[in-house]
Amino acid sequence: MKLGGATAGALLHQAALAVNAGMANYVACIFGDSAATGGVRFDRASGWGDSLAIWGFMAACANSAISAARHMALYGTTSRQLGEIAVACRKHASMNPNAVMRKPITLEDHQESRWIVKPLHLLDCCLISDGGVCVIVTTAERARDLKQPLVLISVWGRLIRRAIWSGRTGGTCRTKKLAVNDAYQMAGVGPKDIDVCQLYDNFTSSVLLWFEHAGFCKVGESGPFVEGGRIQLGGELPINTAGGNLSESYMEGWLHIVEGARQMRSECGERQGQGRRGVPGHRTGRCAQHVERDDLAERMIMAEYKKPLPNITDENRGFWEGCKQGRLQLQKCGACGHIRYPISHVCPECLSYEFAWTPLSGRGEVFSYVVFHQLYNKAFAEDVPYNVALVQLEEGTPPL
């Protein structure tokens, strides 16, 4: 199963169902990756349908960066507040002999680290690592006869495949909130009952949003919430006590589960959190992007142009033909008048097939923007640093 950073949670979920349904007695959930020696750069194009790489928008970092920029613009969140998360995770990693990055950092180190995709610095980004992780699951009944202290899974949230990266919605994400609320309801606990948190930290800004989605603070208040040592061991709500993706190792959230179990067993020595009521492992994930590749013959061939080009299909041809003529146009539903974006042959509102390509005003407002400092694609070498903005069109489509 591949659900990106959500996979660890999804597999545990499935293992839990399997052991309780009697399909298996003991299920091993295993992850292995050699991303560091394999040279994986997490630089894939983002977007749906036609890849946003056409506009220079690529890499996992950009999605989080554009979300962070929106959060900063709306709520006054600062880069130093993001730095608080990086500093806390590194401090905890320094107490973990298995962590990759163990040398403590300061907020100043964070601020001075180079830009990757502004507003995210190098120290806002997780590591890229080789490693393997395994978690063995069984029923509570069988577990009582085994050697380790009992660690029960109280709850899990629903799994929701999202059509788009939440990052691009610029903060609140309905599906994450639903998942956490499910979990609270199933466990009969709330944010105030949680002692230690293992939160998915592909980038520092993701962690900020988890505090809001999980109800630890109000929407927009996560920046000040993380200040003053609150999220460090010894504080009110320590997070990622082994160092997280940011400093322990990037095992896509699997080590968060391992650390959660070890915290519940109270075997973490100097990095042991206080209280044992609950350790939620929150997962975030994304869906695979479908890029139509069946019409390669139709690709625009431009010998001089080295940047990524769109894959033109019957479905999106109207959009690109409009661009060629200097016209921004999208499909207007023939039945209900809804303007479709992403491009689709079926209306997401009324399921009608009817549509007409309709010119848009071209007016809108900047929803969020980032500055690419990191070079992910050589074709953009002369452009770095360059801006990419998301624009909310006045017609009300999702930002594009």
Partner 1 sequence: MHPLRDKTAIVGVGASPQGKIPGSTALSLAVEAFKRALDDSGLKKNQIDGLLTFPGTTRRKRATTSCASAKRSASIRATRVA
Site for partner 1 in 91-150 (CB under 8 A): 98-100, 129-140, 142-143, 146-148, 150
**Does residue 250 have an active-site annotation?**
yes
Query: How many Cβ atoms are within 10 Å of 140's Cβ, its own excluded?
Result: 12
Check residue 201 for interaction with partner 1 (CB under 8 A): no
Please report how close the Cβ of residue 209 comes to partner 1 at its closest, in angstroms: 23
d(CA 250, CA 2): 16
**Binding segment (CB under 8 A) for partner 1, from list 182-190, 229-237, 357-365, 375-383:** 182-190
Q: Which is nearer to partner 1, 51 or 79 (CB)?
A: 51
Check residue 293 for interaction with partner 1 (CB under 8 A): no
Helix (H, G, I), strand (E, B) or coil at 229: helix
Residue 243's closest CA among 87, 125, 123, 89?
A: 89
Query: How many Cβ atoms are within 10 Å of 389's Cβ, its own excluded?
Result: 15
Member of 66, 199, 226, 257 binding partner 1 (CB under 8 A): 257
Check residue 268 for interaction with partner 1 (CB under 8 A): no
Q: Which two tokens stand for residue 156?
A: 């899990």
The residue with tokens 């003529």 is: 325
Q: Name which of residues 229 to 248 contact partner 1 (CB under 8 A).
A: 248
Q: Name which of residues 153 to 172 contact partner 1 (CB under 8 A).
A: 153-155
**Binding segment (CB under 8 A) for partner 1, from list 2-10, 167-175, 227-235, 283-291:** 2-10
Q: Which of 184, 250, 341, 376 is catalytic?
A: 250
- Find all residues with CB under 8 Å of 301, minimum gap 6, and list them: none
Q: Binding string, 25-44, against partner 1, x = CB under 8 A? A: xxxxxxxxxxxxxxxx-x--
Q: Which is nearer to partner 1, 134 or 335 (CB)?
A: 134
Q: Are 171 and 214 a contacting pair, CB within 8 Å?
A: no
Member of 77, 79, 204, 249 binding partner 1 (CB under 8 A): 249
Check residue 89 for interaction with partner 1 (CB under 8 A): no
Check residue 19 for interaction with partner 1 (CB under 8 A): yes
Please report how close the Cβ of residue 41 comes to partner 1 at its closest, in angstroms: 10
Member of 88, 207, 251, 330 binding partner 1 (CB under 8 A): 251
Q: Are 318 and 50 a contacting pair, CB within 8 Å?
A: no
Q: Are 373 and 116 a contacting pair, CB within 8 Å?
A: yes
Q: Which of 200, 341, 353, 386 is catalytic?
A: 200
Check residue 266 for interaction with partner 1 (CB under 8 A): no
Asked if residue 119 has a cis previous peptide bond (ω within 30° of 0), the answer is yes
**Does residue 341 have an active-site annotation?**
no
d(CA 81, CA 87): 10
Please report how close the Cβ of residue 249 comes to partner 1 at its closest, in angstroms: 3
Member of 103, 152, 192, 270 binding partner 1 (CB under 8 A): 152
d(CA 321, CA 300): 11
What element of type H or E holds 73? helix 60-75
Q: Which two tokens stand for residue 70?
A: 């929106």
Member of 225, 252, 278, 399 binding partner 1 (CB under 8 A): 252
- Find all residues with CB under 8 Å of 392, minimum gap 6, and list them: 364, 365, 366, 367, 399
Helix (H, G, I), strand (E, B) or coil at 149: coil
Please report how close the Cβ of residue 123 comes to partner 1 at its closest, in angstroms: 17
Check residue 273 for interaction with partner 1 (CB under 8 A): no
d(CA 107, CA 263): 27
Active-site residues, by number, are 200, 250
